[in-house]
């Protein structure tokens, strides 16, 4: 009896160890399977939300599956490890407490075959350990997901594949060893179901990931494409568009070797709405993106189509309203929206031109060997106009020109300086124009550095480069100063458009043809040799095209406005007044008695506008998709009242 008593604890410990190991393995298996299932559900949600099946986006379907299963597997494994560690920890607590328990009659109640009654301190320790393990698992999971989101480069993906393969190999070898040494590890053999479950789940994820990479190496037939955009840039403040000041010497030089369109117009005077049209190739009425609205995920963008064709895709954006979560990132493998700086006037996150250029160059160096689609967006010269200190005096020769303005209490630029644009005690309009021009000179230097690096990487002559802006800025015309978004003034909608690339992609020269932002999508897809999934209203600018009838829209302070221009005049209708304003595009002036002066032209424009304006305008709501904190940020940016 004495020998059995001595062996009893040892056997009990061995049994408890095996049992604890089995619980830990089961917890890990459940975590991994749970994460896999969560990832699968998320993947199917993304695929359904973006209509990838309807658009026949096989590459993006695999991308979504691989990305979400990877994140789910990592998260599930971490949660499973935390649960397993908690199970082992609790088993240790129980074993030590049992070892410390007094014999019967010494203050503890022990029932034969049962463990002693737990003390409140033991229960508290269990709860605390579970909570701590769960918090650690969630924190590490969030950190790893963020790392994979920002650094999902080919190198890190290869490392991930090697790790997954190694784990799968170890699991398979473990099964073989357990089978061979079954006689010596009968208790450990109980782990086989958990191990088989782990191996199957990891192997299935690895299979999806590998298939995704194989399809990704389908070679595109076209060249690389760089979409280079500058926020709030008026065309008529560039030297190549006739501006007297030397704001853009490097762009002017480049323009002489590219294709410059003198009459290019945007479809909206605000950033998200305009870029929704640039990336999708359809007007705001079709994107349903007005003002600060997000891009609807069901809208098929050129990014998704180029990614599906095998292009490497990346974006470097520097405007708060383009940050991740509003579906402008859809289709991009890497979407760099890191804004670690703040504006000089306000506590609003941004990334200056220098940092944007550095990030763009780093991305291009990593992806120089495969055809890519890269979008680089500069925030400069968006207001407040705060160029680098060394450039601020550059155009001060005209700082004392123009009227002395009041400071408005709101973001309105009507007859005064918007509240968010005020620079110290400066009140002369000429000073603000000088700083706006200095901002353009700054971004001109940044673009020159980017182009220089592309040439050193042997990319410039192998890449179609599209340079444009989302919209311009009011500079005092029509008594409106240093703002945009609420009106469809000609100068705010007139944007630069220059294309560079070797023949036969681009024929150098200047074109006076009226073109529009939605012409960019079919042009880039045509150069890439990609057939659009849907019929696009824009035109391929590689062909000879007639003047466009440009429709532009905005929704501001619950008032919807729509305009149509034919290159000569612009007809503007707004819902509040239910009437028309007509502008002479060449002189950027308001016409008096336009019906009588224009006759048949007015009737044709009116008919076209009524056919293309949004009949749902009365039901639109401002700032859909933004929370209260984000709307407050928009107010500081000048986008909301």
Q: Is 320 a residue whose pLDDT tops 70? A: yes
- Span 451-475, average pLDDT: 96
3-state SS, 392-430, equals CCCCHHHCCCCCECEECCCCCCECEECHHHCCCCCCEHH
Q: Which residue has the higher pLDDT, 210 or 237?
A: 237
Confidence (pLDDT) at 523: 96
How deeply is 596 buried, as exposed, middle or buried, from its count of CB atoms within 10 A (0-12, 13-18, 19+)?
exposed
Q: Is 459 a residue whose pLDDT tops 50? A: yes
8-state DSSP, 558: T
Task: Determine which helix (DSSP H) or strand (DSSP E) holds 464, and give its type and residue range.
Answer: strand 463-469
Q: What is the pTM of this model?
A: 0.79
DSSP 227-262: EEEETT--GGGSGGGT-SS-S-HHHHHHHTTSEEEE
- Span 332-358, average pLDDT: 86
Q: What percent of the chain has pLDDT over 70?
A: 71
| Tally of residues, the chain | 641
pLDDT band at residue 9 using 50, 70 and 90 as cut-offs: very low
Residue 563's nearest CA partner among 597, 590, 529, 593 is 590
Confidence (pLDDT) at 208: 66
User: What are the start and end residues of each CATH 3.40.720.10 domain in the chain?
Assistant: 224-558+620-637
Residue 30's nearest CA partner among 70, 79, 71 is 79
Q: Is 326 a residue whose pLDDT tops 50? A: yes
Sign of the CA dihedral 129, 132, 135, 138? negative
Q: Which residue has the higher pLDDT, 411 or 431?
A: 431
Q: Is 636 a residue whose pLDDT tops 70? A: no
Q: Mean pLDDT of all residues in the chain?
A: 80
Confidence (pLDDT) at 624: 57
- Span 276-305, average pLDDT: 92
Which of 168-182, 187-201, 590-604 is least confident?
A: 168-182
HSE-CB of 562 using CA atoms within 13 angstroms: 22
Q: Is 119 a residue whose pLDDT tops 80? A: no
Q: Is 242 a residue whose pLDDT tops 70? A: yes
Confidence (pLDDT) at 196: 61
61 with 331: CB under 8 angstroms? no
Superfamily of domain 224-558+620-637: Alkaline Phosphatase, subunit A (3.40.720.10)
Structure tokens at 419: 């509240």
Give 488-511 pLDDT, tens digit per residue: 999 999 999 999 988 788 889 999
Q: Which residue has the higher pLDDT, 553 or 5?
A: 553
Packing angle of the helix pair 192-216, 2-49 (nearest 10 deg): 30
Residue at token pair 């670690």 = 340
CB contact set of 161 (below 8 Å; sequence gap of 6+): 206, 209, 210, 213
């Amino acid at each position: 009896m004495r020998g059995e008593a001595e062996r009893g604890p040892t056997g009990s410990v061995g049994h408890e160890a095996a049992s604890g190991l089995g619980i830990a393995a089961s917890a890990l298996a459940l975590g991994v399977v749970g994460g896999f299932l969560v990832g699968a559900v998320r993947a199917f949600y993304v695929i359904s939300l973006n209509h990838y099946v309807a658009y026949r986006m096989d590459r993006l379907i695999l991308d979504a599956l691989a990305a979400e299963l990877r994140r789910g597997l990592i998260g599930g494994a971490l949660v499973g490890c935390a649960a397993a560690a908690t199970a082992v920890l609790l088993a240790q607590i129980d074993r030590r407490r049992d070892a410390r328990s007094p014999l019967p009659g010494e203050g503890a109640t022990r029932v034969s075959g049962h463990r002693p009654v737990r003390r409140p301190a033991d229960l508290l320790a269990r709860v605390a350990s579970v909570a701590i393990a769960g918090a650690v698992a969630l924190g590490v999971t969030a950190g790893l997901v963020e790392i994979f989101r920002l650094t999902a480069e080919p190198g890190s993906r290869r490392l991930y594949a090697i790790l997954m393969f190694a784990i799968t190999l170890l699991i398979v070898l473990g099964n073989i060893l357990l089978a061979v040494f079954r006689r010596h590890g009968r208790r450990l053999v109980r782990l086989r179901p958990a191990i088989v479950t782990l191996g199957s789940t990891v192997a299935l994820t690895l299979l999806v990931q590998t298939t995704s990479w194989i399809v990704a190496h389908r070679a595109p037939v076209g060249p690389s494409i760089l979409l280079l955009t500058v926020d709030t840039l008026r065309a008529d403040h560039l030297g190549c568009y006739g501006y007297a000041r030397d704001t853009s010497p490097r762009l002017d030089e480049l323009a002489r070797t590219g294709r410059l369109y003198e009459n290019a117009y945007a479809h909206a005077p605000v950033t998200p709405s305009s870029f929704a049209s640039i990336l999708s190739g359809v007007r705001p009425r079709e994107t349903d993106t007005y003002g600060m609205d997000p891009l609807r995920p069901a809208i098929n963008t050129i990014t998704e189509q180029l990614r599906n064709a095998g292009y490497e895709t990346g974006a470097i954006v520097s405007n708060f309203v383009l940050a991740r979560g509003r579906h402008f990132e859809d289709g991009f493998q890497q979407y760099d929206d890191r804004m670690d700086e703040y504006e000089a006037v306000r506590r609003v996150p941004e990334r200056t031109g220098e940092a944007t250029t550095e990030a763009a160059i780093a991305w291009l160096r990593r992806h120089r060997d495969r055809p890519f689609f890269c979008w680089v967006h500069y925030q400069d010269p968006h207001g407040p106009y705060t160029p680098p200190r060394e450039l601020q005096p550059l155009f001060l020769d005209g700082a004392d020109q123009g009227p002395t303005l009041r400071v408005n209490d709101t973001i309105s630029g009507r007859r005064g300086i918007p509240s968010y644009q005020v620079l110290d005690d400066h009140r002369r309009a000429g000073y603000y124009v000088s700083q706006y021009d200095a901002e353009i000179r700054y971004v001109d230097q940044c673009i020159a550095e980017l182009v220089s690096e592309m040439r050193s990487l042997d990319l410039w002559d192998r890449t179609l480069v599209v340079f444009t802006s989302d919209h311009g800025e009011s500079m005092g015309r029509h008594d409106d100063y240093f703002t945009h978004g609420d009106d469809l003034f000609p100068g705010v909608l007139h944007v630069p458009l220059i294309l560079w690339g070797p023949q036969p992609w681009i024929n150098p020269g200047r074109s006076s043809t009226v073109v529009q932002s939605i012409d960019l999508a079919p042009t880039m897809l045509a150069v890439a040799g990609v057939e659009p999934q849907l019929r696009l209203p824009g035109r391929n600018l590689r062909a000879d095209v007639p003047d466009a009838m440009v429709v532009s829209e905005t929704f501001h302070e619950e008032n919807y406005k729509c305009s149509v221009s034919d290159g000569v005049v612009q007809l503007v209708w707004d819902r509040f007044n239910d009437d028309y304003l007509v502008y002479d595009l060449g002189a950027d002036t308001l016409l008096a008695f336009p019906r009588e002066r224009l006759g048949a032209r007015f009737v044709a424009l009116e008919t076209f506008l009524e056919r293309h304006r949004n009949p749902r305008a009365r039901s639109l709501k401002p700032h859909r998709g933004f929370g209260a904190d984000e709307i407050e940020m928009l107010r500081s940016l000048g986008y909301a009242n």
